[in-house]
Amino acid sequence: MSQQDTLQGLPAPMARAIAFIWKEAELLDRKDYAAWQDLWSEDGYYVVPIDPETTDYAATLNYAYDNAHMRKIRIERLTSGHAMSAVDAAATVRTVSRFAPVHLSEELVEINSAQVLVGYKRQQHTMFVANVTHRLRFTPQGPKIEQKVIRLINSMDSLNALGFLL
């Protein structure tokens, strides 16, 4: 079954959003961080909260709460080879599914999904499972991520250093 077949019959904004999220997942698995950074709006936030219930990310502790400047720094750290978490970075494969719309319009889509990511490093597999919310703005220049919130199901546990983006 092709991607087009899977998206057929969905409302157009939702189908566009799902195709975009799958593209983002592929870019991240290929570690094409420059192309991934281009998917973001200038004022977009990449958020990985610790507290699974929080909605006030600015006032709580997070694994990541990155605006454009912090995303750029994170990407530089991941690609420079100087950070311990980036040395011998894990290969990743992620699956994103269970899409549920929160808001659908021609200009703005907010959509919840489930993500299962498997990382492989030093002959060991590690799984990261999360509920994800994307807020996407569709502009004449193309879709842009305004906010991506990755709620790891084990966010309250201690996590090993992540040498990749979720």
Q: In one letter, which amino acid is 38?
A: D
Residue-range definition of the domain harbouring residue 86: 3-152
Give the angle 100-106-110 at the CA atoms, nearest 5°: 30
Beta bridge partners of 100: 112
Burial of 123 (0-12, 13-18, 19+ CB in 10 A): exposed
Count structural domains, the chain.
Answer: 1
User: At 121, which CATH number?
Assistant: 3.10.450.50
Span 107-115, mean pLDDT?
98
Structural domain includes residue 159: no
* pLDDT tens digit sequence for 56-78: 999 999 999 999 999 999 999 88
Structural domain includes residue 164: no
Structural domain includes residue 162: no
Span 27-37, mean pLDDT?
96
Contact 130, 115 (CB under 8 A): yes
Can you tell me whether residue 39 is helix, strand or coil? coil
